[in-house]
Structure 1
């Protein structure tokens, strides 16, 4: 039998227990310090995050379709001059699963982030891979829901990896304004919720599709946006994307939407609105011009104007154009005829 413990005598705690307890304490302290450090870092980043404004310069992508066309066209030709001029303009890069699939999109964003550092600029991307994209029209395509979740998660990971770079995300142009024609607003809102949850992060400013001033009446557009349940989780709306409406009309529309939606912000696409709209024609209308440069205008509601739709890329197979998104030299020449 073992010896009985004498009353009043302290038991000796075995040394291994003391060592283990010390190690646990040290580890806990280190974890605590790391957590506090992370919180402080995130707080600093959040406080220092600066939304887009009129002084925002976005990346000029070196792998744009304009840049590729400039290298391929005959030197000195109008087509080459137009492509070269457009390739030098800060313009939003469109991420599509057809060009930047899930196993390549991370590298694409890393490259854009590297360009942003070199150019002291902001990354501006349009995410365009929604299931039933464009409701089967000229830009039909997109991913199935599971693939879309994976693709946008990869995009979000890449954006968060570029924590030192400011990011603008134009999320799924036409997705909300076109929904009444597709009968799919509830489904689309769910896909957009997935994308927002996957993409959002510090210094990442997300703008949902807000149509334009000649599409839906402002009260109707506000109801569509409100019904998504996402307006509290994004910076605001993107207006006039791939369209031609006058900048002044879009500013007025942005202010009306902001009043109805509790102060939401906006960005406006001015890439091809230099000659205004051509009536109700939206698909490759003739006689259009590039508009004011990215970062030209803004106010308390409109964060800034941006070139979102790359000038020179077709709207679709209409009015003599090639398939949607394909480089169209004749359009590039026409759009830049007063700028080059």
Structure 2
């Protein structure tokens, strides 16, 4: 069953004639009253005891400077969380009122919000909605039942959240490496991403598994269940223009090779009917689009390589082409990489990055409908939740935003960033059903250094630094970070708007070599992977915080793997 979308149309004004007979008057007729509003209520995702839903209001009456939508449930539904509206409930009655940033609702304008709730028994869609006291009744067809989570998707259908009710593919190559490590059997059965980081990876590198091998193995793991396969699409021309350790094989102008030798063969394999029963999640091109916002002229962090990629447009073209081609495969779910809060959470970066994502999502024949969601913190270390300080806190007369660690960022952790970015992306035109993934493979920050409470209130810096879980020297440090630990284990629908926590970066695979290493993989040497490096403007000239003796990016790094297990949070058994 495809995503249920029930349009709840306001009733026409009923005009009583002299005989007392009521009749409907359509818009434009003599004495007609316009349909005052349209309400689109979608059950996005439903499981045994809970559900998420989104609501879109279209205002067909006079422009509003504020709004309030009300409805009542016939069952025992209880709303537990909401976003993009102030959602309150009293008994069966629910009120959703505007936030300050979406209060204005023009004639013909729309606004969307969402929420998570619980239920038992029936989860019927409400029969009646009122917008500022004006009734918006269900069409004569009545409400459509929400999707039954036990119904399998039909041919060509995508489910709202591919992770719900599904197992996730365990890469046997990674699993074998993990199990061979002392204590590694504790996590060797966890699902991780399969990285297609060069053309040769499609057929397998050095005798390793290729894409078809992974998909065939996934079918074996699937059995009669639903199963997600996670692929990382990662081979843009001029890849990672600001990070030499993860440079790729294609030069800045080789967009045609990217299309015909990389994306086209992947799309052809994924479209094989043999694999139609798999849910294939793609993480599309890590770190590429954010670079076109933050690391280009006139930014002080600009690099010539990033200026080149912005000028030639090949990042935007490549991502658009990938979304278009892969999005044509009915069982593929595209998630575009969206950096992390310590990169894009500042005012100058946040909105501009969202616009850049939309530009790419509408390039080369792609549309926003080719994007199922976005992924934050891929292969990074930003803490999922910071419990001991909030962005609204003030200490010693200074806001947390003024601390050296936060440095005027709008967000202190990945969950708040991902949820806010989702709302912004919906606001600028992405589907209201998009979901977020958060990579938690290396952001647990456990062990003996994990704070158990807030820092001292001597100053805003002692308060933040003493309480933060993220123990990096600086938010801009990204390579093989000392002290990091495994984060939350992969799980579906952990928070509102979040489709899953995932381990897209396989723990134990290096971010980059700590010294120059000759190789045929196109990977350079980045000083940010050198533990003796004293930094650059992107990390405010701090030490890199990198582990020593690291191999090339993607190669197995036993010392890092052991550290991640040792510092895992939640702790490993």
Distance in structure 2 (CA, Å) of the matches to 1:139 and 1:213: 20
> Any conservation in 2 of the 1:93–1:124 contact (CA below 8 Å)?
yes
Aligned to 1:95: 196
Q: CA deviation at 1:106?
A: 4.5
More helix by share: 1
**3-state SS, counterpart of residue 168 of structure 2:** coil
Distance in structure 1 (CA, Å) of the matches to 2:257 and 2:335: 22
Judged with a 3 Å threshold, the aligned counterparts in structure 2 of structure 1 residues 334 and 298 are, in CA distance, closer, same or farther, namely same
Distance in structure 2 (CA, Å) of the matches to 1:115 and 1:221: 40
Aligned to 1:129: 235
Q: CA deviation at 1:91?
A: 1.0
**3-state SS, counterpart of residue 423 of structure 2:** helix
> Any conservation in 1 of the 2:492–2:499 contact (CA below 8 Å)?
no
Deviations for 1:173-198, whole angstroms, at most 9, x for unmatched residues? Answer: 11111234213243211011111122
Choose from 397, 410, 415 the match for 1:251.
Answer: 415
**3-state SS, counterpart of residue 152 of structure 1:** helix
Give the aligned CA root-mean-square deviation in angstroms.
2.5
Aligned to 1:5: none
Distance in structure 1 (CA, Å) of the matches to 2:210 and 2:267: 10
Aligned to 1:167: 280
Distance in structure 2 (CA, Å) of the matches to 1:261 and 1:190: 20
> Any conservation in 1 of the 2:255–2:314 contact (CA below 8 Å)?
no
Aligned to 2:439: 269
Aligned to 2:354: 222
Structure 1 unaligned segments of length 5 or more: list them: 1-42, 72-78
**3-state SS, counterpart of residue 271 of structure 2:** helix
Judged with a 3 Å threshold, the aligned counterparts in structure 2 of structure 1 residues 290 and 213 are, in CA distance, closer, same or farther, namely same
Whether 2:248 is the aligned partner of 1:138: answer: no
Distance in structure 2 (CA, Å) of the matches to 1:70 and 1:86: 8
Judged with a 3 Å threshold, the aligned counterparts in structure 2 of structure 1 residues 170 and 91 are, in CA distance, closer, same or farther, namely same
> TM-score, structure 2 length as denominator?
0.47
Aligned to 1:110: 215
Deviations for 1:52-107, whole angstroms, at most 9, x for unmatched residues? Answer: 2455431111122x524645xxxxxxx4433x444321111111226514688442
Judged with a 3 Å threshold, the aligned counterparts in structure 2 of structure 1 residues 229 and 124 are, in CA distance, closer, same or farther, namely closer
Q: 1:31-46 alignment to 2 at 5 Å?
A: 44-46=154-156
> Any conservation in 2 of the 1:165–1:203 contact (CA below 8 Å)?
yes
Q: CA deviation at 1:274?
A: 0.5
Distance in structure 2 (CA, Å) of the matches to 1:145 and 1:311: 31
> Any conservation in 2 of the 1:241–1:269 contact (CA below 8 Å)?
yes
Q: How many residues align?
A: 289
> Any conservation in 1 of the 2:198–2:248 contact (CA below 8 Å)?
no
Aligned to 2:86: none
**3-state SS, counterpart of residue 238 of structure 1:** strand
> TM-score, structure 1 length as denominator?
0.77
Q: CA deviation at 1:170?
A: 0.5
Bigger drift between 326-335 and 257-266 goes to 257-266
Choose from 314, 318, 323 the match for 1:187.
Answer: 314
Bigger drift between 148-157 and 43-52 goes to 43-52
Judged with a 3 Å threshold, the aligned counterparts in structure 2 of structure 1 residues 315 and 87 are, in CA distance, closer, same or farther, namely same
**3-state SS, counterpart of residue 501 of structure 2:** strand
Whether 2:171 is the aligned partner of 1:61: answer: yes
Choose from 279, 283, 293 the match for 2:489.
Answer: 293
Judged with a 3 Å threshold, the aligned counterparts in structure 2 of structure 1 residues 109 and 199 are, in CA distance, closer, same or farther, namely farther
> Any conservation in 1 of the 2:237–2:314 contact (CA below 8 Å)?
no
Deviations for 1:145-189, whole angstroms, at most 9, x for unmatched residues? Answer: 232213211111222221011111101111111234213243211
Whether 2:353 is the aligned partner of 1:233: answer: no
Bigger drift between 276-285 and 234-243 goes to 276-285
**3-state SS, counterpart of residue 488 of structure 2:** coil
Judged with a 3 Å threshold, the aligned counterparts in structure 2 of structure 1 residues 327 and 163 are, in CA distance, closer, same or farther, namely same
Aligned to 2:392: none
Distance in structure 1 (CA, Å) of the matches to 2:356 and 2:336: 11
> Any conservation in 2 of the 1:105–1:154 contact (CA below 8 Å)?
no
Bigger drift between 233-242 and 244-253 goes to 244-253
Q: CA deviation at 1:225?
A: 1.3
Choose from 202, 206, 216 the match for 2:334.
Answer: 206
Distance in structure 2 (CA, Å) of the matches to 1:86 and 1:142: 32
Deviations for 1:291-331, whole angstroms, at most 9, x for unmatched residues? Answer: 11111553442111111111111111223122111100011
Distance in structure 1 (CA, Å) of the matches to 2:239 and 2:224: 32
> Any conservation in 1 of the 2:163–2:492 contact (CA below 8 Å)?
no
Structure 2 unaligned segments of length 5 or more: list them: 1-152, 296-305, 363-367, 386-412, 427-431, 446-468, 514-528, 530-545
Q: CA deviation at 1:132?
A: 1.2
Q: CA deviation at 1:50?
A: 4.6
Whether 2:424 is the aligned partner of 1:311: answer: no
**3-state SS, counterpart of residue 176 of structure 2:** helix
Q: CA deviation at 1:238?
A: 0.8
